[in-house]
Amino acid sequence: MNDNFEYGGSRAAEKTGNNDPNGAYKNLGTVFSRNNQYGGLILEYWDKRVRDDGGNLDRVGLIDDNGNGYGAVLNAINDQIRIDVRNNYRGQTHSNRVLNLNLNTWYLVQLEILSDGSITMRVYDGNYNLLDSTSYTDSQYSDFTRVYIFGGQTYHIDALRLRYYIQNPPEAYVDEWYRYVELSPLCNLANP
């Protein structure tokens, strides 16, 4: 789709056609466990609902080979966010929370799946400002092999990535600038 969020690109994935649980999934290439040494996983992506063509929910998450897992649910039609629990691909949403959302607007969605059983969805605006979050607790599924894009239509997904969670992540602070000072002694004494 000729749309994008990530810098330098011009396209995004488009979820269209049949509603949930139809859509697409893609293998991660290995097994990612929420019970890793760091304490969890974070799935992040940019989501933009472009039309209301049926099915209000933008549903993206992690599942295993049997379709079991968790996801984030963004409803820009009815202004809601929820947590998705997938059982054999069939989704059930939890922890519904009202959040004012707009069509044709990119939102950063963050799904945090921790080893302690907690699942948290956060939504940020285009400037990385946190808009709201919702949480649910479920420990049924720990290992994930696929990322899915299910739900309604039509919405765009871009810059999707999976990374490890850590409780106190390293943070970067841009420090003060110092421009260099240049001393230029005039050594040519014949023409100082």
When the beta carbons of 36 and 118 are compared against other proteins, the nearer one is 36
128 binds other proteins (CB under 8 A): yes
- CA dist 181 → 103, 143, 177, 178, 184 (Å): 51, 55, 12, 9, 10
- 104 phi-psi bin (left φ>0, alpha ψ -120 to 50, beta other): left
129 binds other proteins (CB under 8 A): no
Query: CB-based contacts of 92: which residues, under 8 Å, 6+ apart?
Result: 84, 85
Least Cα distance to 117 among 133, 135, 94, 97 occurs for: 135
Nearest distance from C-beta of residue 71 to other proteins, angstroms: 15
Contact predicate 102/76, CB 8 Å: yes
Burial 19-29, CB ≥16 within 10 A → b, else e: bbbebebeeee
* 138-157 positions binding other proteins, by CB under 8 A: 147, 157
Nearest distance from C-beta of residue 117 to other proteins, angstroms: 20
- Binding characters for other proteins, 66-105, by CB under 8 A (x = yes): ----------------------------------------
By CB under 8 A, which span of 48-56, 93-101, 134-142, 169-177 interacts with other proteins?
169-177
Nearest distance from C-beta of residue 107 to other proteins, angstroms: 13
Q: Which residues bind other proteins (CB under 8 A)?
A: 1, 4-13, 26, 28-29, 32, 37-38, 126-128, 147, 157-164, 166-190, 192
